Amino acid sequence: MPHVDVPGARLYYETAGHASGEPLLLIHAGIATLRMWDPLIDSLAADHYVIRYDTRGFGQTTCEASGFSNRDDARRILDHLGVARATFVGASRGGRIAIDVAVETPDRVTGLVTIGSGPGGFPEIELTDQEESLCSALDAAWENRDYRRMIDLETQLWAIGPLRDEEDLDADFVQRAYALGRANLHHQSPEEHAADELEPPAYDRVVDLDLPALVTVGEFDITPALMQFEYLAATVPGATRHLFTDAAHLPSVEHPDEFLAVVSPWLAANGL
C-alpha cells in the first residue's frame, strides 16, 4: 500500500487519474477517512490527478503520539508525488488544514474548496440546546473511554445533524456515515497527538488570500459550521458560496452527484 514516511508517521495515500492532469488534493473530515471521497473519484479523475490521504489519527495512516504539523504533512504528500501546486478540497477539519496551507504557503495552493470548514482562530460560537446535549454526551463517552459510542455520537452530531432524524434519511447514507466514523475506532486512545497550530491563526489572514475559492456547507450543519461558512464567504476575496440543501456536514457523501454538479463546473471555469 502506498505510504509516505514522515517524522513520527506513515501517511497512507491514494491517487487516481493521469499525473499530467490538474492536481487535486482531497483532505477528509474528522468523522471520516479518505474513503469519504470514493463516490467522487471516477468523475474527478477523468480530467484531474486526484490525490487523497489519511491524516494522522485516521484510517490507514499510522503514527506515534508526538508533535507534528498537519500543514507539513499535506505538503509532504505533494512533494513525494512531485506536485508543486494543487487545488485543495477539504471537508471540515480537512478544510481548515487546506486554509492553513493556503495562508502559510500560497505558492502551493492554486484553488481552495471547503466543505463545512472554518479558519483557525475562529471565535467560539454558542451552541443550540440540541447541539449542547449531544456534545455533553460526547464528553461523557470520552471520559468513560467508550470510544465506539463517542464515534457514533460524533456521526449523529455532524453527519446526521441535530435537527434531523436518521430514520428520515437515506438508509445507505446513514450506514456509510457510521462506517466512515467507525473506521477510526482503532486510533482512539487518551494519548495526545499534538498538532502544531498556525500562528497567527488564519482567521485574520484569509482576507489576504488571492486564489479561486469555493466555500460550501450543508443547510443542516451545526451552528459553528454555518457561521464559519458565512465568514469565509464574506471574507475570502471573490469567494463563490454554495449551500447544499437537505444535507448536514458531509454533503459530498450524502449527495455526491449534486456535489459534483457544483464543484466540477467551478473547477473548469477557473482553469483548475
Lowest mean pLDDT among 43-47, 147-151, 188-192: 188-192
Cell of 134: 449531544
Residue 135: pLDDT band with limits 50, 70, 90: very high
Q: For residues 111 and 88, is the Cβ–Cβ distance under 8 A?
A: yes
Residue 270 burial (CB < 10 Å; 0-12/13-18/19+)?
middle
Residue 35: pLDDT band with limits 50, 70, 90: very high
Cell of 32: 471520516
pLDDT tens figures, 235-250: 999 999 999 999 999 9
pLDDT at 193: 62
Residue-averaged pLDDT of the chain: 95
Residue ranges of the domains in the chain? 3-124+190-269, 129-185
Stretch 23-31: mean pLDDT, rounded? 98
Q: For residues 125 and 148, is the Cβ–Cβ distance under 8 A?
A: no
Q: May I ask the CATH class of domain 3-124+190-269?
A: alpha beta
34: CB partners within 8 A, 6+ apart: 12, 13, 14, 26, 28, 52, 53, 54, 59
Q: For residues 91 and 158, is the Cβ–Cβ distance under 8 A?
A: no
pLDDT tens figures, 151-193: 999 999 999 999 999 999 999 999 999 999 999 998 876 555 6
The distance from CA 210 to its chain's CA centroid, rounded to whole angstroms, is: 21
**DSSP string covering 152-181:** HHHHIIIII-TT--GGGS-HHHHHHHHHHH
